[in-house]
Amino acid sequence: MVITYHGGECFKVSFGDTTLAINPISKESKLKTVRFGADIVVVSLNDKDFNGIEQVAHGEKAPFVISGPGEYEVKKVFVKGLQSASQYGGSERINTIYSIMLESINLVFLGALNSPKLNTDVKEELGNIDILFVPIGGNGVLSTSDAHALVVELEPKIIIPMHYGEIEVPPAGGGKALSKFLKEDGEENGKPIDKLTIKKKDLEGKEGEIVVLTS
């Protein structure tokens, strides 16, 4: 499995001959967009910064779209969507947290989540988390301190921070948000990498390791 980051909350996950897109950025967004073909697209919140399905269609072939709570199975990928809340854009909105199981690895994507308090049922549904994608930028999603608190509670093997930098408005500044998050986790010198290539066996022995992906 290869995971690459494209800014905001946009990720490309490639495995075998299948490509999964998570929260692709719409061409209507002010954020920098990227185009690539995907077989499956997952959208956590219906907003131009996250719902750019048109950006990941290839030719006349449309990807299978998952955009809300429920259970889904497509191309040997098992997805469970759980309803949560966001205040992205300044108002209360529905956000979906996803557990995505592929190649025996449980990816948990928090989307634009704004509260570090998850009810017991949601936490149980997420199960044992291998890789956690967590927003850290504040302004309607988790702040760095709230993100840190939730990460400690969920105990993932690998943590991938997102939703910082150009998606964040002044005065906080994306770089400062990332630095603060790394410092809270004792990872001040986390070196960014351009992609994460990982197999199930690579997760053995990992506990809360932060991986910073460049966009």
For 29-84, how does the pLDDT look when each residue is reduced to its tens digit (9 = 90+)? 999 999 999 999 999 999 999 999 999 998 777 899 999 999 999 999 999 999 99
109 DSSP β-pair partners: 98, 133
CB distance 13 to 3 below 8 Å: yes
The predicted pLDDT at position 173 comes to 45
pLDDT single digits (tens) 101-143: 999 999 999 999 999 999 899 999 999 999 999 999 988 999 9
The predicted pLDDT at position 215 comes to 83
The predicted pLDDT at position 59 comes to 79
Mean pLDDT along residues 142-153: 95
The predicted pLDDT at position 191 comes to 75
The predicted pLDDT at position 87 comes to 93
CB distance 95 to 85 below 8 Å: yes
The predicted pLDDT at position 187 comes to 60
Give residue 190's pLDDT band: very low, low, confident or very high (50, 70, 90).
Answer: low
The predicted pLDDT at position 171 comes to 41
Q: Does domain 2-210 have CATH number 3.40.1160.10?
A: no
The predicted pLDDT at position 172 comes to 42
Give residue 4's pLDDT band: very low, low, confident or very high (50, 70, 90).
Answer: very high
* Cα within 13 Å of Cα(183), Cβ side: 8
pLDDT single digits (tens) 166-187: 444 444 445 688 888 988 876 6
Domain ranges of the chain: 2-210
Cis peptide before 69 (omega within 30 of 0): no
Mention every residue, 6+ apart, whose C-beta is less than 8 A from residue 88.
Answer: 45, 47, 49, 95, 112, 114, 139, 140, 141
| Distance of alpha carbon 205 from alpha carbon 31, whole angstroms | 37
